[in-house]
Amino acid sequence: MNQSTPLSNEAIEPADWSAELQELEQRRQWSKGLGGQEAIARHHANNRKTIRERLEGVLDAGSFNEVGSLTGKSDRADGRVNQFSPAPYVCGLGEIWGRPVSIGGEDFTVKGGISWSGDRKKGGQGGFVEDLAHDYRIPLINLIDGAGGSVTSMLRRGYSVFPGVHGFEQSVRLLGEVPVVCAVMGTAAGGPAGRAILSHWSVMIKDTSQVFAAGPPVVARSLGQTITKEELGGSDVAVDLAGTIDNVAENEQECWEMIRRFLSYMPQNVWELPPVGDQSDPPSRREEALATIIPKNRRHPYKMHNLIGMIVDKDSTFEIAPRFGKSVITSLARMHGHVVGIIANNPMVYGGAMDAKSARKQTHFVELCDTFHIPIVFFVDVPGFMIGKEAEAAATLREGMKSVYVGLQASVPMYTVVVRKCYGMAGMGATDKNGLDFKIAWPSAEWGSLPVEGGVSAAFKREIAAAPDPKKREQEIEKQFRESASPFLTAEAFGVEEIIDPRETRAYLCRFIEASIYKRKTALGPKPKFGVRP
Amino acid sequence: MAVEQLKSDVTGSVWKIVASIGDDIAPGDSIMIIESMKMEIPVICEEGGRLVALHVKEGDSVAEGQNIAEIEI
């Protein structure tokens, strides 16, 4: 006898779920309507795109898969939904350059993108969007357009929440695991502003976005200062002066291009190497202008950006924080397709001396490269740390030593190319002391614990003062020192590993960077952090 | 026509002014040279334009970020 019970004809009749499916579709439509046409029109009038337009703008076409599209609050009567207000946060899985990313952002058209949580948070601080990036080991993109919590939530709850109830623990964890990009799209204060800083790279929009710990009303109440939000946290302050945010985009379109460009240099996570790009620019390319770019007159600067451009793959640079700490240039680039991090002193700004701002910038960039296994190339022309009253008051020494400390902990391969001056502790910070300590120099290079000029006047103070013509005596002693400062003499002692014709730099570096891949493969995974930063 | 402020990237002193008011400055040309950290640092007008105002003279001290000239683009 057959043990199974045959299904009755009634049971195999197609079931009718059409009402429920219709409701699902209806709810999706409400969600796509965001905060309603009026709110969207106001948002557009302020030269801002909606969160859904932004997702379309930055992601590969048609690649967005939403998660949490039904979140929000419905107004029901007689078992029917009359009105629906979507949650002010949209997130999901998308693709950039064909690789998956976790992405989310506040919807400003719903209650100004106020911080939201149902049973689970979608994003903003922690939430599904960060869990997805962490669990799947894929990059995270935050499109920030909210001012965080509101005091009104206290009335709704009936109690006050402790700071960090939706904390930054996952945001911090991500910084050692996957690339994190934060774009400040509107006015960010409080939690969302703090979230923007917990990133590998951040960007904001000129004139339409601002970022601060607290906005003008709070500042007026607490300090009596009357100030506009642009004066308080526009890009002139947040990017140029403070370096709170790394880069500024002219408009949202440029912002999308920058985000896509930044991610093109990044691996998906720290367990893999960065992708190898276009290899059509031959490593053997020799730029004649490199032979003459360094002026013979030591007082004359030159354009370091041009020098970099001639050595790396054509049009392959992406400069991080170009408007802050300008005495050092930090740029992602490629050499024969391999991603590299360029750290170059800029002689046009303080003769390339490292000040507190450029030290801060270098510290972050070294960590970024080390975390994602990107070899670092230093183009060194540094007279030392910045000096003077302002520099001391800005803690140049501490910020400078922090950058030296981080450089000494990094384990990614580094190449030191001394193009002119390499002096003092800042010079030491441009070497790979934790690895091969591979120092390559151009014939124009010079180095020492301090530049001859200052050193001679300090060490021979009495002798110079006692001479009949002190100025002449100082110059005589300086000349004597300069003669023994030839880089060739250091090369004889193998104190510098090689001196090359500047035109050979590209070929030379490409060779070693490609060979370093075996070392980098053995160092995949999170980089350990230990000790106390000075 | 927009007028743009040209700022000094460095603290130092104005060593030499190499352009005059009314000059058309080609992109990438310099307007003055500031001495800082024993270097002669040119103030470069990246985008070019007409020099319409100079806020400093030779020998003046300048601070980082100070407006030193105006360029009409």
Query: What digits encode the pLDDT tens for the residues A433-449?
Result: 889 999 999 999 999 87
In this predicted model, what pLDDT tens digit does every residue of A341-358 receive, in sequence order? Answer: 999 999 999 999 999 999
Q: Which residue of A has its CA nearest to B43?
A: A348
Indicate the DSSP class of residue A519. Answer: H
What is the span of the domain harbouring residue A218? 18-71+89-158+167-264
Residue B40 has its nearest CB partner, among A300, A326, A383, at: A300
Please report the pLDDT score of residue A481 as a whole number.
Answer: 81
Alpha-carbon distance of A172 to A195, in angstroms, equals: 10
Write down the pLDDT at residue A112: 84
CA-nearest residue to B13 within chain A is A350
pLDDT-based confidence at residue A210 (cuts at 50, 70, 90) = very high
Burial of A3 (0-12, 13-18, 19+ CB in 10 A): exposed
- Highest average pLDDT, of A79-83, A105-109, A148-152, A372-376, comes from A372-376
pLDDT at A6: 59
For residue range A26-48, list pLDDT tens digits in order. 999 999 989 889 999 999 999 99
Residue at A229 is within a domain: yes
List the strands of the sheet with A140-144, edge to edge. A65-67, A89-96, A99-106, A140-144, A180-184, A201-205, A247-249
**Predicted local confidence at residue A7, as pLDDT:** 61
Tens digit of each residue's pLDDT (9 = 90 or more) over A121-176: 999 889 999 999 999 999 999 999 987 776 677 777 788 877 777 789 999 999 99
Does residue A64 register a pLDDT over 60? yes
The answer to whether residue B3 neighbours chain A at the CB level (below 8 Å) is no
Percent of chain A whose predicted confidence (pLDDT) is above 90: 78
What's the confidence (pLDDT) of residue A127? 94
| 8 Å CB contact of A349 and B11 | no
Residue A3: the pLDDT is 57
Q: Which pLDDT value is given to residue A284?
A: 97
Same domain for A228 and A294, yes or no, is no
- As a whole number, mean pLDDT of residues A246-269 equals 98
Classified as helix, coil or strand, A202 is strand
- Domain of residue B50, residue span: 3-72
H or E segment to which residue A335 belongs: strand A328-335
Give ipTM to 2 decimals: 0.86
pLDDT the model gives residue A438: 95
**pLDDT over 60 at A1, yes or no:** no
Of A158-167, A220-229, B21-30, B34-43, minimum mean pLDDT range = A158-167
Asked whether residue A472 is domain-assigned, the answer is no
Closest residue of chain A to B44, computed from CA coordinates:
A348
| Residue A50 scores a pLDDT above 90 | yes
- CA nearest A478: which of A465, A467, A464, A495? A464
Instruction: Give the integer Cα–Cα distance in Å for A490 and B20.
Output: 47
Beta strand pairing call for A414-423 and A376-382 = parallel
| CA atoms of A162 and A173, how far apart (whole Å) | 21
Please report which confidence band the pLDDT of residue A511 belongs to, taking 50, 70 and 90 as the band edges. Answer: very high
Same domain as A429, residue A327: yes
Angle at A196 (CA atoms; ends A194, A199), nearest 5 degrees: 115
A482, pLDDT greater than 90: no
Which residue(s) pair with A91 in the sheet? A67, A104
Residue A404's pLDDT is 95
The residue among A56, A321, A52, A275 whose CA lies nearest residue A179 is A275
CA distances from A228 to A206, A232, A236, A466 (A): 15, 6, 13, 60
Give the mean model confidence (pLDDT) for residues A518-525.
95
Phi, then psi, of B29 in degrees rounded to 5: -80, 160
- Closest among A373, A366, A365 to A412, alpha carbons compared: A373
Cβ(A51)–Cβ(A34) below 8 Å: yes
* Kind and range of the H or E run holding A135: helix A128-136
How crowded is the C-beta side of A426, counted as CA atoms within 13 Å? 34
Distance from CA of B18 to the nearest CA of A (A): 15
Q: What is the reported pLDDT for A10?
A: 61
Per DSSP, which regions of A97-221 are E strands?
99-106, 140-144, 180-184, 187-189, 201-205, 210-212
Question: What DSSP line would sit under A20-72, residue for residue?
Answer: HHHHHHHHHHHHHTTT-HHHHHHHHHTT---HHHHHHHHSSTT--EEE-TT-E
Size of interface A-B (CB pairs under 8 A): 36
Site of tokens 């802050």: A324
Q: How far apart are CA A250 and CA A426, in angstroms?
A: 34
Determine the pLDDT at residue A151: 67
Type of residue numbered A527: K
- Closest chain A CA to residue B41: A348
Number of domains making up chain A: 2
**Considering the domain boundaries, does residue A412 fall inside one?**
yes
Examine residue A466 and state whether it is found in any structural domain, yes or no: no
A183 with A257, same domain: the answer is: yes
The model's confidence at residue A460, banded by pLDDT at 50, 70 and 90, is confident
Mean pLDDT of chain A: 93
Asked if A83 and A26 count as a contact pair (C-beta separation under 8 A), the reply is no
Q: Are residues A54 and A172 in the same domain?
A: yes
Residue A328 confidence (pLDDT) above 70: yes
Instruction: Check CB contact under 8 Å for B10 and A299.
Output: no
Distance CA A110, CA A86 (A): 7
CB atoms within 10 A of CB A26: 12
Residue A220: pLDDT band (50, 70, 90) is: very high
Q: Say if residues A164 and A205 touch (Cβ distance below 8 Å).
A: no
Q: Which among B39, B62, B67 is the top mutation candidate for probing chain A, defined by the most A β-carbons within 10 Å of its own β-carbon?
A: B39
Q: Contacts of residue B37 in chain A, CB cutoff 8 Å? A: 350-351, 353, 383, 386-387
Q: Are residues A207 and A353 in the same domain?
A: no
Residue from A92, A513, A177 nearest A371 by CA:
A177
A452 touches chain B (CB under 8 A): no
- Among chain B residues, the shortest Cα distance to A382 is held by B37
| Model confidence pLDDT, tens digit, residues A378-424 | 999 999 999 999 999 999 999 999 999 999 999 999 999 999 999 99
Which CATH number goes with the domain that contains B8?
A: 2.40.50.100
Place of tokens 């695991």: A177
Assess whether A357 and A243 both reside in one domain: no
State whether A370 and A331 are in the same domain. Answer: yes
Is there a single domain that holds both residue A256 and residue A293? no
A257 and A299 belong to one structural domain: no
Same domain, A34 and A110: yes
Amino acid at A258: M
Least confident of A28-32, A266-270, A479-483: A479-483
How many domains is chain B built from?
Answer: 1
What is the reported pTM? 0.92
Is residue A523 within 8 Å of A373, Cβ to Cβ? Answer: yes
Cβ within 8 Å of B, A 275-314 = 299-301
**Chain A CB within 8 Å of residue B41 CB:** yes
Cross-chain CB nearest to A301 (options B11, B39, B65): B39
The per-residue pLDDT for A80 is 82
Choose, out of A346, A349, A453, A456, the residue to mutate when testing the contact with B (most B CBs < 10 Å): A349
| B28: nearest CA partner in chain A | A303
- Which residue's entry shows tokens 């149902």? A118
Residues A129 and A236 placed together within one structural domain of the fold: yes
DSSP run (H or E) holding A446: strand A446-448
- For residue A135, the domain's CATH number is 3.90.226.10
Contact residues, chain A, for B44 at CB < 8 Å:
348
Percent pLDDT > 70 in chain A is 97
Helix (H) or strand (E) holding A477: helix A470-483
